[in-house]
Every structure is written in C-alpha cells, then in structure tokens.
Amino acid sequence: MASIGRAIVRVPKRLKKGQVFKLQMVIIHPMETGLRKDPKTGKKIPAHYITHVDIYLNGKLVTKINTSAGISKNPYFAVKMKAVESGTLKIVYEDNKGGKWEKSVKLMVEG
C-alpha cells in the first residue's frame, strides 16, 4: 500500500476576496476499524485509520477535523471556507499508527 497518505485536493483556481468556496479532498487510506477479519486467515485486520485532519492557511490553523475508525476507505472531506488572502493552504493528517502526511495547495485571492 505505497500510496497510503496520498491526497487529492481541489480548490478553485481563482477566488474573489470574501468569496465562500469549498475545499475538497480525498485521502488515500485503508481506514480499517479493527473489527473485520481477513477472509483467508480468519484473523482480525488491525485497526488503521486517520485520527485527525488539520487545515492551515499561511501557517495559521483554520480548522481541525477529528475522525474515527467508522469512516470509509479513502475518505472524502469537504470544508466551506471564506477567501481572505492568497497563500498556501496546507492539510496535515495523521493516523493511529503514527503515519503523518501533508499536502499543500496555492490559493489565489484577487481584490
């Protein structure tokens, strides 16, 4: 599973100051609850899930999403935000096994 932690993030290419927009992201992750059994071995598959997602704009925390094992594989998140300034939007996410990843995208705010 070499692609664990890869994120696909979408934001509008250009925004007007004050415009409300939707940040959309899919995070590639197995999101195992720890309750399923491997059909071949009958053993439980260990829990492995994203515990939280933090979103920063220019280094300032904008929002924090706390998650649990009950979310589907490769979860989709959407967050409505207000365009206040251009800069770097950074998404940092961690899982219960110590995995930590981040993805950055540029925001272009006019006016």
CATH code, domain with 32: 2.60.40.10
Rounded-to-integer distance, Cα 32 and Cα 27, Å? 14
- Identify the residue whose tokens are 């950074």: 90
Confidence at residue 1, expressed as pLDDT on a 0 to 100 scale: 47
- Identify the residue whose tokens are 């705010």: 109
List the domain range (segments joined by +) for residue 25.
Answer: 7-110
**Which portions of the chain are predicted below pLDDT 70?**
1-2
Is 1 within the bounds of a domain?
no
Confidence at residue 16, expressed as pLDDT on a 0 to 100 scale: 97
Give the other-Cβ count within 10 Å of 100's Cβ: 9
Number of domains, the chain: 1
Is 64 within the bounds of a domain?
yes
Confidence at residue 111, expressed as pLDDT on a 0 to 100 scale: 86
67 near 50, Cβ under 8 Å?
yes
